Amino acid sequence: MVERIIANEGEIDQELESQIVELDLSMKSKVDAYYFRLDELKSRAERFKEKSRQLARLSKSCETSVEWMKKHLIEAMHHMNKKELQGNEYRFRLSPTKPSVRFDSTKLSKEYYRVKKVREVDKEKLYELIKAGNSVEGAWLEQNVSIRSSQV
Protein backbone atom coordinates (compact mmCIF):
# COMPACT_ATOMS: atom_id res chain seq x y z
CA MET A 1 0.00 0.00 0.00
CA VAL A 2 2.84 2.41 0.86
CA GLU A 3 4.45 1.79 -2.54
CA ARG A 4 1.14 2.66 -4.21
CA ILE A 5 0.85 5.88 -2.22
CA ILE A 6 4.38 6.84 -3.28
CA ALA A 7 3.65 5.93 -6.91
CA ASN A 8 0.56 8.19 -6.71
CA GLU A 9 2.77 11.02 -5.37
CA GLY A 10 0.96 11.00 -2.04
CA GLU A 11 -2.53 11.05 -3.47
CA ILE A 12 -5.02 8.57 -2.03
CA ASP A 13 -7.20 7.46 -4.92
CA GLN A 14 -10.63 5.87 -4.47
CA GLU A 15 -9.24 2.33 -4.64
CA LEU A 16 -6.66 3.03 -1.94
CA GLU A 17 -9.27 4.79 0.17
CA SER A 18 -11.62 1.82 -0.11
CA GLN A 19 -8.80 -0.54 0.86
CA ILE A 20 -8.18 1.54 3.97
CA VAL A 21 -11.90 1.64 4.83
CA GLU A 22 -12.27 -2.10 4.23
CA LEU A 23 -9.58 -2.88 6.77
CA ASP A 24 -11.48 -4.55 9.57
CA LEU A 25 -9.56 -3.00 12.43
CA SER A 26 -10.78 -1.50 15.64
CA MET A 27 -10.41 2.26 16.00
CA LYS A 28 -7.38 1.86 18.29
CA SER A 29 -5.72 -0.47 15.80
CA LYS A 30 -6.43 1.98 13.00
CA VAL A 31 -4.86 4.80 14.98
CA ASP A 32 -1.77 2.67 15.57
CA ALA A 33 -1.68 1.65 11.91
CA TYR A 34 -1.91 5.30 10.82
CA TYR A 35 0.97 6.20 13.13
CA PHE A 36 3.07 3.34 11.75
CA ARG A 37 2.40 4.36 8.13
CA LEU A 38 3.04 8.04 8.85
CA ASP A 39 6.30 7.18 10.58
CA GLU A 40 7.35 4.88 7.72
CA LEU A 41 6.55 7.52 5.09
CA LYS A 42 8.41 10.23 7.03
CA SER A 43 11.45 7.94 7.27
CA ARG A 44 11.34 7.24 3.55
CA ALA A 45 11.02 10.94 2.80
CA GLU A 46 14.11 11.67 4.91
CA ARG A 47 16.08 8.92 3.18
CA PHE A 48 15.08 10.32 -0.22
CA LYS A 49 16.04 13.85 0.88
CA GLU A 50 19.45 12.63 2.05
CA LYS A 51 19.96 10.73 -1.21
CA SER A 52 18.97 13.89 -3.07
CA ARG A 53 21.56 15.91 -1.09
CA GLN A 54 24.22 13.30 -1.89
CA LEU A 55 23.36 13.37 -5.59
CA ALA A 56 23.34 17.19 -5.58
CA ARG A 57 26.86 17.17 -4.08
CA LEU A 58 28.03 14.71 -6.75
CA SER A 59 26.42 16.85 -9.45
CA LYS A 60 28.11 19.99 -8.10
CA SER A 61 31.48 18.17 -8.06
CA CYS A 62 31.04 17.19 -11.71
CA GLU A 63 30.05 20.74 -12.67
CA THR A 64 33.09 22.14 -10.82
CA SER A 65 35.35 19.66 -12.63
CA VAL A 66 33.88 20.65 -15.99
CA GLU A 67 34.52 24.34 -15.30
CA TRP A 68 38.06 23.61 -14.08
CA MET A 69 38.83 21.57 -17.21
CA LYS A 70 37.42 24.27 -19.51
CA LYS A 71 39.42 26.99 -17.75
CA HIS A 72 42.66 25.01 -18.00
CA LEU A 73 42.00 24.11 -21.62
CA ILE A 74 41.50 27.79 -22.47
CA GLU A 75 44.68 28.71 -20.59
CA ALA A 76 46.63 26.01 -22.45
CA MET A 77 45.29 27.18 -25.81
CA HIS A 78 46.28 30.78 -24.98
CA HIS A 79 49.73 29.60 -23.89
CA MET A 80 50.19 27.68 -27.15
CA ASN A 81 48.72 30.61 -29.11
CA LYS A 82 46.10 28.29 -30.65
CA LYS A 83 42.48 29.11 -31.41
CA GLU A 84 41.62 25.48 -32.17
CA LEU A 85 42.75 22.05 -31.02
CA GLN A 86 41.68 19.00 -32.99
CA GLY A 87 41.73 15.37 -31.92
CA ASN A 88 40.74 12.28 -33.88
CA GLU A 89 37.04 12.70 -33.19
CA TYR A 90 36.60 16.00 -31.38
CA ARG A 91 37.90 19.52 -31.51
CA PHE A 92 37.94 22.52 -29.24
CA ARG A 93 37.66 26.01 -30.63
CA LEU A 94 37.85 29.33 -28.83
CA SER A 95 34.90 31.52 -29.66
CA PRO A 96 34.34 35.03 -28.33
CA THR A 97 31.50 35.62 -25.89
CA LYS A 98 30.02 38.76 -24.37
CA PRO A 99 32.76 40.66 -22.52
CA SER A 100 32.61 40.74 -18.71
CA VAL A 101 32.42 44.08 -16.94
CA ARG A 102 35.26 44.54 -14.47
CA PHE A 103 35.50 47.54 -12.14
CA ASP A 104 37.16 49.10 -9.13
CA SER A 105 34.27 50.12 -6.90
CA THR A 106 36.44 52.66 -5.07
CA LYS A 107 36.81 54.66 -8.30
CA LEU A 108 33.29 54.38 -9.70
CA SER A 109 30.95 57.35 -9.61
CA LYS A 110 27.63 56.89 -7.77
CA GLU A 111 25.78 57.37 -11.07
CA TYR A 112 26.80 53.82 -12.01
CA TYR A 113 25.06 52.27 -9.02
CA ARG A 114 21.43 51.34 -8.82
CA VAL A 115 19.24 50.79 -5.81
CA LYS A 116 17.27 47.58 -5.66
CA LYS A 117 13.98 47.88 -3.84
CA VAL A 118 12.10 44.88 -2.60
CA ARG A 119 8.49 45.35 -1.63
CA GLU A 120 6.99 42.56 0.40
CA VAL A 121 4.16 42.13 2.88
CA ASP A 122 5.24 42.38 6.53
CA LYS A 123 3.39 39.30 7.76
CA GLU A 124 4.70 39.62 11.33
CA LYS A 125 3.37 43.18 11.61
CA LEU A 126 -0.02 42.15 10.19
CA TYR A 127 -0.19 39.18 12.56
CA GLU A 128 0.50 41.34 15.62
CA LEU A 129 -2.01 44.03 14.55
CA ILE A 130 -4.84 41.58 13.83
CA LYS A 131 -4.09 39.47 16.91
CA ALA A 132 -4.33 42.64 19.02
CA GLY A 133 -7.86 43.17 17.67
CA ASN A 134 -7.18 45.69 14.92
CA SER A 135 -8.99 45.43 11.61
CA VAL A 136 -6.78 45.54 8.52
CA GLU A 137 -8.53 45.70 5.16
CA GLY A 138 -7.32 42.91 2.88
CA ALA A 139 -5.79 40.85 5.68
CA TRP A 140 -7.12 38.34 8.20
CA LEU A 141 -5.93 35.49 10.39
CA GLU A 142 -6.79 31.98 9.35
CA GLN A 143 -6.48 29.23 11.95
CA ASN A 144 -4.21 26.38 10.95
CA VAL A 145 -4.01 22.95 12.47
CA SER A 146 -1.41 20.27 12.48
CA ILE A 147 -1.41 16.74 13.69
CA ARG A 148 0.98 15.49 16.33
CA SER A 149 1.63 11.96 17.38
CA SER A 150 2.87 10.54 20.63
CA GLN A 151 3.14 7.18 22.23
CA VAL A 152 0.29 6.25 24.60
Residue 79 lies in a domain: yes
Tell me the Ramachandran region of residue 38: left when phi exceeds 0, alpha when psi lies from -120 to 50, beta otherwise. Answer: alpha
Q: Which domain holds residue 74?
A: 2-100
Residue-level pLDDT at 88? 93
Residue-level pLDDT at 17? 79
Residue 54 lies in a domain: yes
Residue-level pLDDT at 33? 85
Residue 150 lies in a domain: no
Residue-level pLDDT at 25? 57
Looking at the chain, list the stretches that DSSP marks H as alpha helix, in order from N- to C-terminal side: 2-7, 14-22, 27-79, 123-131
Residue 125 lies in a domain: no
Question: Which segments in the chain show pLDDT lower than 50?
Answer: none
Calculate the average pLDDT of the chain.
Answer: 89
Residue 130 lies in a domain: no
Calpha distance 64→71 (Å, rounded): 11
Tell me the Ramachandran region of residue 81: left when phi exceeds 0, alpha when psi lies from -120 to 50, beta otherwise. Answer: left
Residue 134 lies in a domain: no
Calpha distance 54→48 (Å, rounded): 10
Domain count, the chain: 1
Residue-level pLDDT at 26? 62
Q: Confirm if 1 and 115 have CB atoms less than 8 A apart.
A: no
Tell whether pTM > 0.85: no
